[in-house]
Amino acid sequence: MDTVQPAFTKLTDLAAENLGGKALLCSDDFFAEKENLLKPGRGIFITDKYTDRGKWMDGWESRRKRIPGHDWCIIQLATSGKIIGVDIDTNHFLGNHPPHASIDACYMEPGSTIDFEKASWIEILPKSSLKAGSQNFYAIKDIEAEGGKNIYTHIRLNIYPDGGVARVKVYGEVFKDWKLDNREEIIDLAAAVNGGKSILCNDMFFSHMDNLIMPGRGINMGDGWETKRNRTPNNRDWVIVRLAHKGIIEKIVIDTCHFKGNYPDSCTLEGCTISPKDEIKLQTSEIKWTSILPQTKLTADNEHHFENENKDEFTHVRLSIFPDGGISRMRLWGRVPSK
């Protein structure tokens, strides 16, 4: 039976490797490297696969501790943010999972010298029990960091006393300081690392809508948004993205990288301006969409660049593809007007 996913798992995984998260330091990763903690998915198991140090495991695994203390791993979040919930996943770690874990967090100013021993760590998850081979979900209380902000840039995962964790996911909200003196700078308003979020789509059978706004170009066909083949005449598949900030879109990039026999024939882009509480109306006729990019032909495995002359400000966009298929990335370069 599938584990019930808490609501916070729909938020951005601030620690995800594909967003830019990094495992920086750990006390011990003798059996399995700390970097595995931040990879996509839940980890896999390969029977009879061994390394010169023991059983190969898709996660972070330390040695059996024979001295006092516990093991730990420090992770740099992809972007500063507010942490709402975590998943400490022990998938495939059965006789070797840690019985307990806790999490500390800290905030470090951009460009500051990193000294984790002097950092102001705050315990955001007290020592908590872990189940073997399971997703262990915990909601995080609204604990304020030093300076009165509940915004963090790093976490420290502590395991007691040792063992293996497959993945750690840190769900929350991206924090970006939208200073007035930077508001005329052109920025990708859809990018997840800036706070953009794919919030709704009609189909993501082959790959998730979140991939659409991740950094870089897709690494393969699975690293994009792809819908199933649809046999309905005149079908339209769609995805709605909440922009990082209300702004004016100037340049559009639709990238079909790796999609060769399954790219969409054409696409459109529309925008609207609504408040967060009105997002429940996004599939209704109450929302008035404004055309940004009219229906336009696409080609295989190609970056398509478009200029937008519409100077309206939008909070959300809807990308529609005809009749179905896959898009690797969408970039919406624009400005946040000073007001």
* Measured distance CA(271)–CA(49) in Å, rounded: 50
Q: Which residues contact 92 (CB under 8 A, 6 or more apart)?
A: 43, 44, 45, 57, 58, 59, 133, 166
- pTM for this entry: 0.92
- The Cα–Cα gap between 122 and 301 comes to 46
Q: What is the pLDDT of residues 23-80, one digit of tens each?
A: 999 999 999 999 999 999 999 999 999 999 999 999 999 999 999 999 999 999 999 9
Domain boundaries defined on the chain: 7-174, 180-335
User: pLDDT at position 223, please?
Assistant: 97
Domain 180-335: CATH superfamily, name plus number:
Galactose-binding domain-like (2.60.120.260)
For residues 109, 113, 114, 118, the Cα torsion angle rounded to the nearest 10 degrees is: -90
Highest mean pLDDT among 176-180, 237-241, 276-280: 237-241
* Residue-wise pLDDT tens digits, 287-338: 999 999 999 999 999 999 999 998 999 999 999 999 999 999 999 999 998 7
Q: Are 141 and 82 in contact (CB under 8 A)?
A: no
| Residue showing tokens 């005329």 | 184
**Among 8-17, 138-147, 272-281, 319-328, whose mean pLDDT is lowest?**
138-147
pLDDT band at 227, cuts 50/70/90?
A: very high
What is the reported pLDDT for 295? 98
Residue 157 phi, psi dihedral angles, 5° rounding: -90, 120
Q: Homologous superfamily of 7-174 in CATH? A: Galactose-binding domain-like (2.60.120.260)
Least confident of 106-115, 175-184, 243-252, 275-284: 175-184
3-state SS, residue 75: strand
Q: With a cut of 70, say whether residue 146 has pLDDT above it.
A: no
Strand partners, 135: 89
Residues 250-284: tens digit of each pLDDT: 999 999 999 999 999 999 999 999 999 999 999 99
Write the CB contacts of 52 (distance below 8 Å, at least 6 apart in sequence): none
Instruction: Say what the pLDDT of residue 144 is.
Output: 72
**Cα-to-chain-centroid distance, residue 274:** 23
Q: What is the mean pLDDT of residues 80-105?
A: 97
Whether 328 and 223 have beta carbons less than 8 Å apart is answered as: yes
On average, the pLDDT of the chain sits at 94
* pLDDT in the model for residue 316: 98
pLDDT at 111: 77
Q: Are 250 and 307 in contact (CB under 8 A)?
A: yes
> Two tokens at 126?
């007290």
Q: Same CATH topology for 7-174 and 180-335?
A: yes
> Residue 84 has what pLDDT?
97
How is residue 196 written in tokens?
């953009």
